Amino acid sequence: MPVAEPHSPGAASGFPLPAIPAHARVVVVGAGQAGLSVAHHLAHRGLAPGQDLVVLDRSPAAGGAWQFRWESLRLGTAHRVNDLPGMRELGLSFETADQGRAARDVVGEYYAEYERHFGLAVFRPVAVTSVREAARASDARAAPLRVDYRRGAGDGATRGTVIADLLVNATGTWGAPIRPYITGIETFRGRQLSTPEYRSAAEFGGRRVVVVGGGTSAVGFVLELEGIAASVTWVTRRPVSFAGEEPGEASASMEGRLAAVAQQNDAAREGRVLPSIISGTGLPATARNLDAARRGVLVARPLFTGIEPGGVRFADGSFEPADAIIWATGFRSELGHLDPLGLREPGGGVAATQGRAERDPRVFLAGYGPQASTIGANRAGRLVALQVLEVLAALS
């Protein structure tokens, strides 16, 4: 198999990095829950990792987006992290993991062990920069895809290309937080940050903080900041309810969840920007959340209508002084590297049915839309892998 990088940056230091094949049957972009799940199913059904199957991941270590989450986020406080397919074979399960440890550490370790055990040969840090049409060999039945990537960082980074029959995009959303535009946002003198930049409550000691967002991250920030920040104001676009299930329990709001997933499915099919799941299910009615709501800590005000240098202004004219605004306002799918393929619909999204892009049958999306949870990513892994194998069989 020809290789793209005969001289990798590590070679000079005596630790040659494994070469990335120049040709593959399938490239998987991203090694979070979705990418690993797809890779596992493909490897299990006969594709050779590191040869037929090339997994490229931008992150420096195993763990997908989990490795970047804040230290205080625990598995017990996260919704529920589902095991990857086949993980129990290793004697590992998130259900029996130490719930007191940082989720980022546990998930990182378990994913690393999983990759090793199944020999998934993830190449990292390798960022895919674009996916486009490759020149078609005269004898080929289908045009392949050209996947350009950057390997490593800074001066030592190298560039390369893999030519692949099919692509599975599993890049998640962590790198694309949404920050809504509110009049005056550029005039704010304090600190503004989005969820991926949040490290710990200690950074906000004695500060007046506004937390924006109606999801579990926003709730987590409000609870952590209580007693540390000078004041915490929680604002949400829509009224919130605590109706969702406790982590790990059977759903008490199955109807809402099914409706929310159906809405996401419709949006994914039509290529619209995806609505949030929480808006259909409510926030988890944990004892901690309910207690904080009773004490007036978790009581949301409606979203402010203006931002001024020293704080936020509400529709009723009231003003809340603020030193920091934390935007926990959701994410978009990271799909910019697919733009050369012209997959986007007028609504801005990529239309996909059962994880397959409507506009390009060579492209699959795993962990996209309603699949953006660990259980959804697992299901996507199998669904996408089976379709990929079917297409490969038809090609050869």
Binding site for ligand FAD (CB under 6 A): 29-35, 56-59, 64-65, 69, 78-81, 127-128, 170-172, 174-175, 217, 334, 337, 367, 372-375, 377
Q: Tokens 């962990």 sit at which residue?
A: 367
Q: Which helix (H) or strand (E) segment is 208 a member of?
A: strand 208-212
SS3 38: helix
Q: Decide whether 99 or 192 has the Cβ nearer to ligand FAD.
A: 99
CA dihedral for 21, 22, 26, 28, sign (positive or negative): positive
Q: Decide whether 136 or 339 has the Cβ nearer to ligand FAD.
A: 339
Q: Decide whether 132 or 313 has the Cβ nearer to ligand FAD.
A: 132
| Integer-rounded Cα radius of gyration of the chain | 22
Task: Write down the least CB distance from residue 185 to ligand FAD, Å.
Answer: 22
Task: Write down the least CB distance from residue 169 to ligand FAD, Å.
Answer: 9
Phi/psi zone of residue 138: left (φ > 0), alpha (ψ -120 to 50 degrees), beta?
Answer: alpha
Q: Decide whether 171 or 264 has the Cβ nearer to ligand FAD.
A: 171
Task: Write down the least CB distance from residue 341 to ligand FAD, Å.
Answer: 14
Task: Write down the least CB distance from residue 130 to ligand FAD, Å.
Answer: 9
Q: Give the Cα separation of 171 and 36 in Å (integer).
A: 11
- Closest CB to ligand FAD belongs to which residue? 32
Task: Write down the least CB distance from residue 144 to ligand FAD, Å.
Answer: 19
Q: Give the Cα separation of 259 and 188 in Å (integer).
A: 38
Q: Decide whether 12 or 273 has the Cβ nearer to ligand FAD.
A: 273
Supply the DSSP string of 201-239, one letter for each residue.
Answer: GGGGTT-EEEEE-SSHHHHHHHHHHTTTSSEEEEEESS-
Task: For Cα atoms 302, 306, 311, give the angle at the middle one, nearest 5 degrees.
Answer: 90
Output the six-digit token pair for 198. Answer: 């949040």
Task: Write down the least CB distance from residue 56 to ligand FAD, Å.
Answer: 5
Q: Decide whether 59 or 264 has the Cβ nearer to ligand FAD.
A: 59
